Amino acid sequence: MLLFFEPWLQSLEDILRKCKRRPNPAEAFYKSDARSMLFRLETLSRIGRGMLDKKKFDTLYDRFKQLEDILGAMDHAETMLEQLGAIKGLAKYAAARYSKAFREELRQLALILEQDGWYSGVAFQQVREAVASPVFKEDVKFRHKLSEFLARELEKVEAQYRFGELNPHDLEGGLHELRRKLRWFSIYGAVLQGRLQLRKVPVTDPRLQKYCSKEIVHSPFNKLPLTPRGVKALEVQSTYFYALSWLIQELGKWKYVAQLNEELESLLRSSGVTDAATLSSLRARLRDTLPCDPAAIPVMAEDAIDDFIYRDRILMRLARDIRRSEN
């Protein structure tokens, strides 16, 4: 597995080496592309625990996720401060909450980078030793394991939605979690070094046209690495992969709007503002900046997801393509 991990480990190590020379290394790390590298390392850890050694790769996953979660919390605080702090009448409340949250996460990040051996390089040595021990062999057995892992991941998401575990009327545990699970599959393609490919096909079903906009088709996220010579890649039809990308993008937009609205309500509750007219005015000011009504988002998301899963059967088709291409 080191073959897959090494490019992202090297990139993360290079980032940390540069950050250490900055006046505030932890803040420089936050402003770098580190989170993207950590996402990819988390993704590979998920593949490793699903195919090879659950205990070992769970430990690695948690290690990468600890850093990525902190960077995510810092980004959230900064974004909320920028968006809600720009609303007249909310600036001081937003600054008090989100500036404090950002500073606390930054302190925690600096502590972990130092104490867990990321700055010293010990952490990288430990990760490389862990991922080097499972023997990687490009053979039929490995290909079958990879195929089954990817197909099962897709089928599991569909089952979780079908049986109500992923409820779009629940922002964090439903809408956001569903998007997160779908997003993993798109990142699998980016980290498998060409072992998952798109088979370009014409879009013959008019219902699928909306998924294949120029923005989606030409997105850099949908350009997968070339397959190494001598390796037979698993394939999915391009239309279905584009549909996955489209839904991830739409859910992201809706999640952001719903999150802003939810944060506003939380901020208002903690602000001590009780005047009904003032509260109404502040809510209206946020709504004026949003592309849609937050109250409508759960139903809009549910309609889109239902079409994606039940009408167009995208997850089923992706899983089917992967199993077909194994042979």
Residues 293-311: tens digit of each pLDDT: 999 999 999 999 999 999 9
DSSP letters spanning 136-204: P--SHHHHHHHHHHHHHHHHHHHHHHHTTSS-TTSIIIIIIHHHHHHHHHHHHHHHTTTSEEEE-----
Identity of residue 246: W
Helix, strand, coil percentages, rounded to 5, for the chain: 75, 0, 25
- pLDDT band for position 150 (50/70/90)? very high
Distance CA 57, CA 44 (A): 9
Considering the entire predicted model, what is its pTM?
Answer: 0.93
Which has more pLDDT, 313 or 89? 313
CB count in 10 Å sphere of residue 92: 10
pLDDT of residue 137: 64
Cβ atoms of residues 227 and 197 within 8 Å: yes
Q: List all residues 6 or more positions away from 108 whose beta carbon is below 8 Å from its beta carbon.
A: 70
CA atoms of 7 and 199, how far apart (whole Å): 26
Element (H, E) at 237: strand 234-237
